[in-house]
Amino acid sequence: MTVVLSALGEVALAAFLVAVAAWDLKTRRVPNWLTLPAVGAVLVWRVARFVISCRLGQCMPSEFTFLFAWTFILVVLWPLRVFAGGDCKVLMVLFGVYPTLEMLVLSLVISGLVIGIVVVWRYARSHQLRTLGGLMWTRLMGKRGLPTEAELAMGEPTAFLFSAAGLCMLILQIS
């Protein structure tokens, strides 16, 4: 029974991540109707695992380590506008399922690689690759390290990067 539930959970997570990635790439937004049920499902799943483990006489407070990641997302990343709300909720789902250092590293590596390639590609296409370093320095020195409201409104798709990291983590967990 647990194998079936685990497989269903993995299929549901994969479907969620694919839907998020597709929606984000198409619309540059991740709607609440897609993310909030997933956040709720992860929370219910974690609480249920804790209750079941306690009934078996092996209470596992580690089931709630994901709350540290959620707190960081809700208190730092979202209010400082590092990421938009939909992106933060996708991160909440991922760190609710995988509250591990591996998930963090995988997210950072995939995001860094893809963003680096996209930035270089955009500037290389417009023949301004030499100005990229200067622009980045000016942005940082002008205390504009975080995106502006206008940049957030344009909505660069980033949730698909987190979805890719989540799918990679899912594949690594299955194999």
Q: What pLDDT score was predicted for residue 154?
A: 64
Report which secondary-structure segment, H or E, holds 89: helix 85-97
Q: What pLDDT score was predicted for residue 11?
A: 93
Q: Is the separation of the CB atoms in 20 and 159 below 8 Å?
A: yes
Over the stretch 40-59, which tens digit does the pLDDT of each residue have? 999 898 888 888 888 888 87
Average pLDDT over residues 36-41: 93
Over the stretch 114-173, which tens digit does the pLDDT of each residue have? 888 877 777 666 666 666 666 666 766 766 666 666 666 665 788 899 999 999 999 998
Q: Is the separation of the CB atoms in 30 and 89 below 8 Å?
A: yes
Higher pLDDT, 39 or 119: 39
Amino acid at 137: W
Residues 13 and 45: their CA atoms lie apart, in Å, by 12
Q: What pLDDT score was predicted for residue 1?
A: 39
The rounded mean pLDDT for the chain is 82
Determine if the pTM surpasses 0.85: no
Angle at alpha carbon of residue 106, lines to 51 and 159, rounded to 5°: 85
Q: What pLDDT score was predicted for residue 167?
A: 94
